[in-house]
Structure formats: structure tokens, C-alpha cells
Amino acid sequence: MTTISPETEQNLRQVFRRFNRFMLLMWRLGLGRFINFWPEGGGRIMVIQHVGRKTGKTRQTPVNYAEIDGEVYCTAGFGAVSHWYRNLLENSEVEIWLPNGRFHAHAHDITDQPNTLPILRQVLINSGFAAPAVGVHPTTMSDEELAVATESYRLIRFTKTQPAAGKADLQWVWLVLAGLLLGIVVVWFKRLYDEGDES
């Protein structure tokens, strides 16, 4: 089993933070279903929309997930210190953005419930490169090795209650880009037409 130093863990946090910003942008642009096309590499990614426990502001956090028997699961890989996880403890009513739509859901920490290791293993398999990056290899580790390696992890279950009405708030960007492209094409054809008349 591979262990990582606190310095390496801090560096990985920074990498994941930047990666999460990119993933959130993709979802806001309406590309959520497309970023899940390669789960073995990039992982299966959803977004949790939750409320900040101190600010009361709406926050969005991309996470890896697994859907099993209609329930959705994710893990806080950096443990109970993760801000989004602590927000869920304060307010468990969230919205989750999945490739097939957005849903209101109730979040519940099931870490200490029995027989959850197979669920955690599937979430980690669905994380693509993320779990191996921190020294966790869910496809090859024994149950005992995986339990030790993920001792500080928290496992969260999301029970969907009803569809949510929200949609990608940056989809207008595609209309602007399409308009710009159309304008360029029109100018290009007009120039060709004008050059043809001159000849």
C-alpha cells in the first residue's frame, strides 16, 4: 500500500481544486453528460449543489460518484475536513447534477454503517485517475488493504426526492459563439462574392 506525505497531499488538493473548477465550468456550459464519456480515465463526475454552513451561500462541488440500486454515493477522500462535507452535515438537503438530469436529494453519511466497503470500492473505481493518484488502488487492493487506506474517508449516500428545475446557466455562451461564427462565415462569403465581381 502506498502512503503519501502531507506535502504531497497538499499539492494534490491544489491539483484537484483546479480540476474541480474546470469540471464545474463544463457542467455550467451544459457539457456534464459529455465529460462522463471516459469513466476509466476521468471518472464519473456529478456536482453537489449545497449551502455554505457559515455564509449561507449556494456552493457547487464536483465529485466522483457511483449509482447503485437507485441510490447515489460519493466519498470525501480528504476526510471530515472537506468543507463541502461539513456543509452537508449542517444542511443535508442538496441538489445533485447527474448526466441524466438534476435532482433534489437528501444526503446522509453512512460511513459507519455495516457492509459499506463494496460501495466505497465502486465509488473509488469510478474516480478514474483520482484514487490511484493518492495511492489507493481499488481494483487490486484486498478488503483489508482498502479499509486501512480509506480509514479517514467519509461515504455519503444521496437519496433522490424529485427532479430539480435548474439548467446549465452558461449555455448562452454557445449562442454567442454560434452568432460570432455565423458572422465570420457571412463576412467571408461576402468578401469572396465581392472579389468575384471585381474580376
H or E stretch at 10: helix 6-28
Domain 6-167, CATH 3.30.70.580 — does that match? no
Please identify every stretch of the chain with a pLDDT value under 50, giving residue numbers as ranges: 1-2
User: In the structure grid, which three cell numbers stand for residue 23, read together?
Assistant: 469540471
Rounded to the nearest 10°, the torsion over CA 143, 118, 13, 140 is 50
Q: SS3 for the chain, per residue?
A: CCCCCHHHHHHHHHHHHHHHHHHHHHHHCCCCCCCCCCCCCCCCEEEEEEECCCCCCEEEEEEECEEECCEEEEEECCHHHCHHHHHHHHCCEEEEEECCEEEEEEEEECCCCCCCHHHHHHHHHCCCCHHHHCCCCCCCCCHHHHHHHCCCCEEEEEEEEEECCCCCCCCHHHHHHHHHHHHHHHHHHHHHHHHHHHC
Q: What is the pTM of this model?
A: 0.78
Whole-number pLDDT of residue 199: 58
Count the neighbouring beta carbons within 10 Å of the beta carbon of residue 182: 10
Whole-number pLDDT of residue 1: 41
Whole-number pLDDT of residue 9: 61
On whether the CB atoms of residues 100 and 160 are closer than 8 A, the answer is no
Whole-number pLDDT of residue 74: 97
Q: Bridge partners of 162?
A: 104
Whole-number pLDDT of residue 110: 98
- pLDDT 10s digits, 131-169: 998 899 999 999 999 999 999 999 999 999 999 987 766
Whole-number pLDDT of residue 86: 97
